[in-house]
């Protein structure tokens, strides 16, 4: 999910299974005409946005290519969440520079959060960049490209209060034909003090619920079996029908999408603990096809640090939320994001982050050390005073504990049988399938004649480690 994640092996493998890195294409017809190549970094929202960009460019006569050297336009959809994410982008730009020198007339465009953060400065800092486009300005891409072809470098980083790209049907990139993402909202109004997202993505706004259901319906018609509803804070989704004035909450939206087809699995990400309601939990409990999995980032296990992070909940409140989830959905898996080494975090407070992992029994976590981001509340108000070695050591402790917990929790699945959606061949062997259970755990199992990606099957788990389960079809 976050591809600058500095985590250790077991966890890394798990992340590796998630979509990340470069975006490639399922089908690549050579229609002639101009070609674009796109790479995406950062969260799933960015990957989803790249599919919107591809669709907009497709309408303008461009076709996608996975061959950078043969493209007329290289795009990089960037992330600013941590310093390392931005360094990765800068490194890629050096590589593009070499390709561009071999191909006169080729254009390079920077999209996404780093484009929004740096704006026009990008053109001054990186001479090879021709266009800079923020997350709300993708409709302007064809015009900006046309301008750049005439030698006018272009920037559009206008942040909108309305844009949701609701009417755009994304061109599915790098798709396995089984799972797809659907953006349901954009932006974020939570001012977590460490976070750059509110500055790069603007104000929170929800997409027309009917267009979301229409997109899910279209995916089902095309054979897709799983959708993940995306937003920085999906539980605060709210949309009002302008004609009837009826309001749709996230719990209602979940049900609307689940009712598209009982064969369609519904997932969602990310849930801010403060906003997830009992109605959402009841929807998960009552609909077999809404997956029993909640990504519920805690960030820290210590109440003082949580306050400083402006997360608006404290530790006891978060623990109660976890209790409530397990009470309503006993076999739910919960995962988390954790930041270690935030400003002024003491050794005792770090131990609270360890103990919350133990308490919540996360199936997995994305774990990071704090990286100060320009312009954020924390950068302006607090000192980034935890030495890098200390941050790294605390991160290692957190990763090791999470690996232990994942291993122990996964071992409890041995002997159980799960309904698994087959995603394709396992990475290691084409004699095996890989797929996920409702809890989002990856299961590897020997193939069986007649079954293919996109089919459901029942798998009994025989073996486990901290990252995957292994089993056989029953």
Q: Which residues bind ligand F3S (CB under 6 A)?
A: 42-43, 45-46, 79-81, 112-113, 196-197, 200-201
Confirm or reject binding of residue 306 to ligand SF4 (CB under 6 A).
no
Of 127-135, 194-202, 323-331, 435-443: span binding ligand SF4 (CB under 6 A): 194-202
Out of 45, 79, 197, 459, point to the residue binding ligand SF4 (CB under 6 A): 197
Out of 93, 157, 195, 296, point to the residue binding ligand SF4 (CB under 6 A): 195
Binding mask 5-44 for ligand SAH (x = CB under 6 A): ----------------------------------------
Confirm or reject binding of residue 228 to ligand SAH (CB under 6 A).
no
For ligand SAH, which is the closer residue by CB, 137 or 339? 339
Q: What is the largest CA-CA distance in the chain?
A: 65
Confirm or reject binding of residue 299 to ligand SAH (CB under 6 A).
yes
Q: Identify what 82 binds: ligand F3S, ligand SF4, ligand SAH, none; CB under 5 to 8 Å per kind.
A: ligand SAH
- 48 and 183 in contact (C-beta within 8 Å)? yes
The minimum distance between CB 311 and ligand SF4, in angstroms, equals: 7
Confirm or reject binding of residue 373 to ligand SAH (CB under 6 A).
yes
The minimum distance between CB 232 and ligand SF4, in angstroms, equals: 4
Sign of CA pseudo-dihedral 318, 321, 327, 329? negative
The minimum distance between CB 411 and ligand SAH, in angstroms, equals: 27
Q: Identify what 46 binds: ligand SF4, ligand SAH, ligand F3S, none; CB under 5 to 8 Å per kind.
A: ligand F3S
Q: Identify what 371 binds: ligand SF4, ligand SAH, ligand F3S, none; CB under 5 to 8 Å per kind.
A: ligand SAH
Confirm or reject binding of residue 198 to ligand SF4 (CB under 6 A).
yes
Q: Identify what 198 binds: ligand F3S, ligand SAH, ligand SF4, none; CB under 5 to 8 Å per kind.
A: ligand SF4
Out of 40, 164, 179, 233, point to the residue binding ligand SF4 (CB under 6 A): 233
Of 164-172, 185-193, 219-227, 357-365: span binding ligand SF4 (CB under 6 A): 185-193
Confirm or reject binding of residue 185 to ligand SF4 (CB under 6 A).
no
For ligand SF4, which is the closer residue by CB, 107 or 197? 197
Confirm or reject binding of residue 173 to ligand SF4 (CB under 6 A).
no
Chain positions 95 to 154 lying near ligand SF4, rule: CB under 6 A, are none
The minimum distance between CB 54 and ligand F3S, in angstroms, equals: 17
One-letter-per-residue 3-state SS of the chain: CCCCCCCCHHHHHHHHHCCCCECCCCCCCCCCCCEEEEEECCCHHHHHHHHHHHHHHHHCCCEECCCHHHCCEEEEEECCCCHHHHHHHHHHHHHHHHHHHHCCCCEEEEEEHHHHHHCCHHHHHCCCCCEEECCCCHHHHHHHHHHHHCCCCEEECCCCCCCCCCCCCCCCCCCCCCEEEEECEECCCCCCCCCCHHHHHCCCEECCHHHHHHHHHHHHHCCCCEEEEECCCHHHCEEECCCCCCEEEHHHHHHHHHCCCCCCEEEEECCCCCCCCHHHHHHHHHCCCECCEEECCCECCCHHHHHHCCCCCCHHHHHHHHHHHHHHCCCCEEEEEEEECCCCCCHHHHHHHHHHHHHHCCCEEEEEECCCCCCCHHHHHCCCCCCHHHHHHHHHHHHHHHHHHHHHHHHCCCCCEEEEEEEEECCCCCCEEEEECCCCCEEEEECCCCCCCCCEEEEEEEEECCCCEEEEEC
Binding site for ligand SF4 (CB under 6 A): 188, 190, 192, 195, 197-198, 232-233, 272
């Amino acid at each position: 999910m976050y591809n600058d994640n500095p985590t250790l092996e077991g966890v890394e493998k798990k992340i590796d299974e998630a979509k990340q890195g470069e975006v490639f294409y399922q089908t690549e017809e050579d229609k002639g005409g101009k070609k674009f190549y796109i790479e995406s970094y950062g969260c799933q929202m960015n990957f989803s946005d790249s599919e919107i960009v591809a669709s907009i460019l497709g309408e303008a006569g461009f076709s996608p290519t996975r061959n950078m050297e043969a493209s007329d336009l290289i795009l990089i959809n960037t992330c600013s969440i941590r310093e390392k994410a931005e360094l990765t982008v800068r490194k890629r730009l050096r590589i593009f520079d070499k390709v561009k020198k071999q191909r006169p007339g080729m254009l390079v465009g920077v999209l996404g959060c780093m484009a929004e953060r740096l704006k026009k400065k990008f053109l001054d800092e990186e001479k090879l960049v021709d266009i800079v486009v923020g997350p709300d300005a993708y409709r302007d891409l064809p015009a900006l490209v046309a301008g750049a072809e005439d030698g006018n470098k272009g920037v559009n980083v206008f942040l909108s209060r309305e844009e949701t790209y609701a009417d755009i049907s994304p061109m599915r990139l790098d798709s396995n034909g089984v799972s797809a993402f659907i953006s349901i909202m954009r932006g974020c109004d939570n001012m977590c003090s460490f976070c750059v997202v509110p500055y790069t993505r603007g104000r929170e706004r929800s997409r027309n619920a009917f267009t979301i259901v229409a997109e899910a319906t279209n995916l089902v018609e095309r054979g897709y079996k799983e959708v993940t509803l995306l937003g920085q804070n999906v539980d605060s989704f709210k949309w009002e029908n302008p004609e009837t004035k009826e309001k749709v909450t996230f719990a209602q939206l979940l049900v609307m999408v689940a009712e598209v087809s009982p064969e369609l699995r519904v997932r969602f990400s990310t849930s801010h603990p403060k906003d997830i309601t009992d109605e959402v939990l009841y929807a998960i409990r009552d609909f077999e096809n809404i997956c029993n999995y909640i990504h519920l980032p805690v960030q820290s296990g210590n109440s003082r640090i949580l306050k400083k992070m402006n997360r608006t909940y404290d530790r006891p409140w978060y623990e109660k939320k976890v209790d409530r989830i397990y009470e309503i959905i006993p076999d739910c898996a919960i995962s988390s994001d954790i930041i270690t080494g935030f400003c002024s975090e003491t050794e005792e407070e770090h131990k609270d982050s360890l103990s919350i992992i133990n308490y919540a029994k996360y199936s997995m976590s994305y774990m990071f050390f704090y990286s100060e981001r320009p312009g954020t509340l924390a950068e302006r108000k607090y000192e980034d005073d935890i030495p890098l070695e200390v941050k790294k050591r605390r991160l290692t402790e957190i990763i090791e504990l999470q690996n232990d917990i994942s291993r122990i929790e996964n071992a409890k699945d041995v002997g159980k049988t799960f309904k698994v959606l087959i995603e394709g061949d396992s990475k290691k062997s084409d004699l095996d399938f890989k797929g996920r259970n409702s809890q989002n755990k990856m299961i590897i199992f020997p193939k069986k004649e007649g079954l293919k990606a996109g089919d459901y099957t029942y798998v009994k788990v025989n073996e486990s480690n901290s990252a995957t389960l292994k089993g056989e079809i029953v």
